[in-house]
Structure formats: C-alpha cells, structure tokens
Structure 1
Amino acid sequence: MLELRQLTKSYASGHPVLDKLSWQFRAGEFVAIMGDSGVGKSTLLNLIAGLDQPDAGPGQEASPILVDGVAMSGLDDDAATRLRRARMGFIFQAFHVLPHLTLLQNVALPLLLNGLPRGRAGQMLEAVGLGGRGADFPHQLSGGELQRVAIARALVHRPALVLADEPTGNLDPDTADTILTLLRQEIKATGACAIMVTHSHAAAAMADKTLQLTKLGIQETTIVNPFEQKTR
C-alpha cells in the first residue's frame, strides 16, 4: 500500500529531521507512530500526503514515497491532488473544518469532490455522535466536536490511506475509545491502511502495530493499554 525508501527531510536550516527512513505499510493495517516531540512525526505524515517534499538524496533516482506503487515525486500538482482526493483521508490536529459550511456539508465535501453520492455524510455524523447536528456550523461546536467532524470527513469516502495526526488529542477518554473503535472498524471493513501519530499509549494500544520514531530511525515496539493494565 505504502512504501518509504530512504526518505530524508531536513529543516530550512539544514538540520535533518528524517534521515534515510524506510518502511512498508500494508493494506488493512492500523499503525500507530509514537516518538518524542521534534522527531518528525507530523512531518512524516505531510511528506506521505505530498503536502511537503522530501530531500533528494545524492544520486537518488527512485522515489522515496510510493502509494499503491505510484511514485509521489513523479506526479505533477494536479495528479497529486487527484490522488489525495480519491485515495487519502486526513485527520489534522488543527481540524481544517471549513467555517462557512454546515457540519453536513463539511463531511460531504470529499464525496462531492469525488462525484460520489452524499448520503453517507449523515451516516458518518451519526457514527461520531453528531447525528441531528448536520445543519449546525463549526462555530457552534467545541474543540472535541470539531475533531469528530474532521474524523467523519476523513472516513466518509472510504479512502485507501488514512493519515491521522493526534486524532484523539481533543477528546475525553470515552469518546476517544469510541472514535478509535470506529476508525479501526472502517479500516478493517474497507481494507484501508491507517497511520496514526499519537502521544497516547491508550490510543496506540488500539492499533495493530506501534512504531517508535527516533532520530536514529523507526522500529516496531510493544504498547500496552494503561487502562487494561489497571484491570488485570
């Protein structure tokens, strides 16, 4: 589904944030990525989405990022936009919910852009606990509610790749558990791949696999849900 090949990225100052990162992510896999602040977790998501560009390594010809075998670096802006629109779903820390659209219109936007029926938008609002509020506007919602709208919008068109940056950061534990359960169900039902950046051990424990990102690279690690530990 997704392959990283010697992915490298440096800040404008020249300081490296990601250095020759390689990994394969499979369809149907829910992966959590953890790590200290500043190691490049959000940068990694932006690179995968094509919202930022990786550094070109010396003599490097092969693309460092492939989505379904398609080299992101070989796409022009229009082609990259079409791929993101059809194949990806994004859950950003800053929500990016459009203030001039109702909640239902915000969630239906990926369906509209992809020429798909819009009936599923209401279903997804219901799934995240906001059924009956489709006519409301974003300014009427709390931060946690806006996060749920962003999650519904990211999943509504059944993307093949879901990228989530701290998707439960504004949610209480019970709502976070509900949302992560929904995310996992959608992934398994559609065979999508999901990559979730999180600082929460409880959230990471819901994933199939947890990767630890450090300045030295990326490696698989074991995460135990702290709430499960207390009940043992």
Structure 2
Amino acid sequence: MTLRDNDVPPALECRGLSKAYGAGRVLLASLDFALDPGEFVAVMGDSGVGKSTLLNLIAGLDTADSGEVLIDGTSISSLDDDAATRLRRQKLGFVFQAFHVLPHLTLVQNVALPLLLNNTAPSRALDLLEAVGLGGRGDDFPRQLSGGELQRVAIARALVHRPTLILADEPTGNLDPDTAHEVLSLFRAEIKANGAAAIMVTHSMAAAASADRILILSEHGLHAGE
C-alpha cells in the first residue's frame, strides 16, 4: 500500500473475507487486504482458485460467508439493497469477461449508461469511445462489433463516470497485443488522473506488468507476486 493522509480511507478494504461453496469447498479464507486511491493491482492465480469470486464479493454481487468489504470507508454489508445499488452506480466501474454490453443500445448509449444512472451529462461518453479507438462509431450497435471491440466498449463504460474503484475481469482477454497495450495505458492513466483504485484479474503477465503491484491468489491466500 502507498502512504496516505490518516483521514483518507482506503478506496477498498477487505477484512477477514471468507467464501466456501458446495461440500465445504473453501475458495477464500480470512482474506485481508486494502487498496489506496490511485493504486492499480493485478490479481493472478490458477483457474478456479476464486479470482472472479473475489471480484463479485467486493462488488456485492455475491455474499461472503464471513468478513467485510468497505468501499471508500463504507461497509457494503451495512447497506440495504437500494443503498448498495446506489454505491455500485456511483463508486464502482466493472469490466466483465462476458462484456454485458446491451444489444439494443448504441455504443455511445452503452458507454453513457453509468452517467445517465447517476444523473450526469453524457458528453464524456464520446471522449471515452475515442480513447478506446472507436471514435466515430457511437451510433453503431453491438452486433456490428467484434469481440475485441465489444471489450473496448465495456472498458469505456467502466471508466466513463470516474469511479472510486474499478473491477476488471480479464479486460484484455479478447484484445490483440497492440490494442491491449493501448487500452491498459488508458486504464492506468484514468486511474491515476482520477485517484481511483483498480483490481484487474488476469492470466496475462504482459497485462499484469502494467499494474503497480501483482498479488497471487492461491489456496493459501493472497500474497505478493515476485
């Protein structure tokens, strides 16, 4: 963790986070870690070890068996459903492996969605489409795009409302190396410019190298990578 003023909370703090499935299959056990504003962390590990589960728990899309997740000093578990939804809209940005781009909306409408949900002017959506290499295609629909282009739309949407915390699950998995490098450069620049924190789950060492630090998730917990 980087140094911060004592009165500024971590962007993310996980305390004693545990999750098991089925017949006692433990994925996460008493996980403790924190991210400061402006910190970009890559999480790596074998398939099935719980990396995507960790993101879902942090986002409040899944429920931990025990422990607590605090975003910008607020415990998700202390909120009712409406308040948790508002927190996700305002403070979180998501990049899902499966894109979750809405097929009936144009590209600019997809990217602008977090702004509209937060009652913010949607003008920045066009700037983000330009930044991910899709300038001039705002009126296109998702069916006209390749998988790599859909991923770029998803990344633009995650960044557009300047969230406190960005959660990215294999954000470069569908991108060629040159585009991946450009997108990660944008990703990092936006994080630093807005004082956001980000967790990127990835199998790519090239992608992980763009982060400030690498954490390895295994059955023994979360520890610093080499």
Work out the CA distance in 2 between the residues paired with 1:156 and 1:142: 21
The aligned runs of 1:79-228 (5 Å cut-off) are 79-222=83-226
Counterpart-to-counterpart distance in 1, 2:84 and 2:62: 12
Post-superposition, which runs of at least 4 consecutive aligned residues in structure 1 deviate over 4 A? none
Tell me the alpha carbon deviations over residues 93-132 of structure 1, each in whole angstroms, 9 at most, x when there is no partner. 0000000000010000001000111110000000000000
The answer for the alignment partner of 1:59 in structure 2 is none
Deviations 1:156-181, CA, capped at 9 Å, x for gaps: 00001000000000000000000000
SS at match of 1:80: helix
Q: 1:14 aligns with which of 3, 24, 45?
A: 24
Offset at 1:13? 3.2
1:5 aligns with one of 11, 15, 24: 15
Deviation at 1:220, TM superposition (A): 0.9
Work out the CA distance in 2 between the residues paired with 1:219 and 1:14.
23
Q: Is the 8 A contact 2:72 2:164 kept in 1?
A: no
Unaligned residue ranges in structure 1 (runs of 5+): 57-62, 223-232
**Counterpart of 1:64 in 2: which secondary structure?**
strand
* Rounded Cα–Cα distance in structure 2 between residues aligned with 1:157 and 1:67: 16
The answer for the alignment partner of 1:46 in structure 2 is: 56
Counterpart-to-counterpart distance in 2, 1:120 and 1:45: 26
Stretches of structure 2 that go unaligned for 5 or more consecutive residues are 1-10
Q: Distance in 2 between matches of 1:50 and 1:12?
A: 20
The amino acid across from 2:184 in the alignment is: L
In the alignment, the residues of structure 2 paired with residue 96 and residue 208 of structure 1 have an alpha-carbon distance, to the nearest angstrom, of 27
User: Displacement of 1:11 after TM fit?
Assistant: 1.0
Aligned to 1:225: none
Report what 1:29 is aligned to. 39
SS at match of 2:19: strand
In 2, the alpha carbon distance for the partners of 1:8 and 1:172 equals 35
* TM-superposed deviation, 1:79: 0.6
Distance in 2 (CA, whole Å) between partners of 1:163 and 1:48 is 9
Residues in 2 aligned to 1:93 and 1:186: alpha-carbon distance in whole angstroms: 20
Query: Percent identity among equivalent residues?
Result: 69
CA distance in structure 2 between the partners assigned to 1:82 and 1:13 by the alignment: 34
Is the 2:107–2:137 contact (alpha carbons within 8 Å) kept by the matching residues of 1? Answer: yes
How far, CA to CA, are the matches of 1:139 and 1:11 in structure 2?
Answer: 36
Q: Distance between the aligned counterparts of 1:137 and 1:14, measured in 2?
A: 44
Cα distance, 1:221 vs structure 2: 1.3
For residues 19-76 of structure 1, the C-alpha deviation after alignment (integer angstroms, 9 at most, x for no partner) is: 11111111100000000001100000000000000003xxxxxx52111111111111
Count of residue correspondences:
216
C-alpha distance in structure 2 between counterparts of 1:162 and 1:132, whole Å: 26
TM-score normalized with structure 2 length: 0.94
Q: CA deviation at 1:14?
A: 2.6
